[in-house]
Amino acid sequence: MKIAFNIDYDVQQNTGIGRYGVELIKTYVRSGMPIEIWMSQFRKKLPAITEGVHDKIVYYPWPRRITDYLWPSIRASRAEITWVHSANCGMLPAASSFRQVCMIHDMGPFLYGHMKTKKDTEFWVKRIRRVVRNADCIVTNSNSTKDDLLSLFPQVENRVFVTPLGIDHFASEKSGESPGKHILNVGTVEPRKNIDGLLRAYSVLSTRRDIPPLVIAGMDGFKAGEYKELAVKLNIDQKVRFSGYISDKELVKLYSEAVCLVHPAHYEGFGFTVPEAFTWGLPVVASDTGGIGEFFSETAWMVDPESTESIAHGIELALDSGVTTEQKLKRHELTRKLTWQNCAIKTREALEAIEN
């Protein structure tokens, strides 16, 4: 078995898609499994994906729109590629010389399409439908995502496999106590992240007691302007800071100075933000839904994202009780279980199951 990883996403962005693709490549390289990395010519000028892969990179010839129909098949035959992997639902034209496997990270475009722009939702609905029609193997990051997929497309049941993502790329827990300057939320400012629910919960809690200011760290997304207006209407704008897009260095500083992380998203296929906060030993308030509920329910203070009172109570528990001994133990157990090595093994097993 030899896999070609088709890079059609920004590998420099530490989003779920980029992180998944890069970490899986790193793991296969370390294991010595034969792979190739396919990418466009313009990526030659960009920073390297990771160390030790230069000799594995093959660039598409120009022009892409034409060569996408011919070159992959020719290259696969010459290099004995059996599978082409997409981390971004980016299907290549069908070819007899290789099979295709695609990761579906969540079914948000179908279940929560109204929480993105119409254009964004239509783009992803089209991509996922193409994967459902044409992919030889579909992998999902959680049972939750698999169940959502099968509820809409039961015909893919024999082609879909769960390959849980790793969280061991995050550094081990840092020593020292956080100064607790602020409550932190990390992610794109958009409806699916439940920013309005967070603001309302923060407003309710601030009427009961003195609490640290709230920092919402992430680039402006769909309806971001409305949430900033909501903070003003709730009379909490003096205690809420929308940071906008921030660098990795700035994010580290925000985590290091946080008293807790609050992630009350309506829906997540997996939810990297939650285990990222474990790195800092922070108490976490998170939604007991989707992939977050599936993997992290015993490691954080879980809340109902549809309930303002539930979110407020979760924040209160995090402020008063911090990280419990039981939560710490479960976090360590989960870090040993959710590894990229396991993800790579599960992926290979899925491909072998299809081949057999």
Same domain, 100 and 74: yes
Same domain, 333 and 344: no
- b/e map 6-34, b = 16+ CB within 10 Å: bbbbebeeeebbbbbbbbbbbbbbeeeee
Same domain, 125 and 64: yes
The reported pLDDT for the residue numbered 64 is 76
Residue 260 lies in a domain: yes
| Whole-Å CA distances, 301 to 30, 67, 71, 268 | 36, 50, 50, 16
Written as six digits, the tokens of 142 are: 């959680």
Same domain, 255 and 351: no
Same domain, 35 and 157: yes
Same domain, 116 and 204: no
Residue 151 lies in a domain: yes
Q: DSSP label at 43?
A: G
Same domain, 160 and 199: no
The reported pLDDT for the residue numbered 135 is 97
Query: How far apart, in Å, do the first and last CA atoms of the chain sit?
Result: 12
> Could you give the strand order of the β-sheet that contains 160-162, starting from the edge strand earlier in sequence?
57-59, 35-39, 3-6, 83-86, 99-104, 137-140, 160-162
Same domain, 144 and 199: no
Stated as kind and residue range, the H or E segment containing 251 is helix 248-256
Residue 172 lies in a domain: no
Residue 343 lies in a domain: yes
Q: Show pLDDT as tens, one digit a residue, over the chain (356 residues).
A: 999 999 988 877 767 898 999 999 999 999 889 999 999 888 887 777 777 788 899 999 987 778 888 999 999 999 999 999 999 999 999 999 999 999 999 999 999 999 999 999 999 999 999 999 999 999 999 999 999 999 999 999 999 999 999 999 887 666 556 678 999 999 999 999 999 999 999 999 999 999 999 999 999 999 999 999 999 999 999 999 999 988 888 999 999 999 999 999 999 999 999 999 999 999 999 999 999 999 999 999 999 999 999 999 999 999 999 999 999 999 999 999 999 999 999 999 999 999 98
Same domain, 312 and 284: yes
In the chain, how many domains are there? 2
Taking Cα atoms as reference points, which of 286, 295, 274 lies closest to residue 314? Answer: 286
Residue 25 lies in a domain: yes
Same domain, 245 and 122: no
Residue 312 lies in a domain: yes
Q: Domain holding 115: CATH number?
A: 3.40.50.2000
Map tokens 């009427």 to a residue.
Answer: 207
The reported pLDDT for the residue numbered 332 is 94
Same domain, 343 and 333: no
Give the Cβ contact number of residue 170 at 10 Å. Answer: 15
Q: Which domain holds residue 144?
A: 3-166+339-355
Same domain, 272 and 201: yes
Residue 98 lies in a domain: yes
Residue 33 lies in a domain: yes
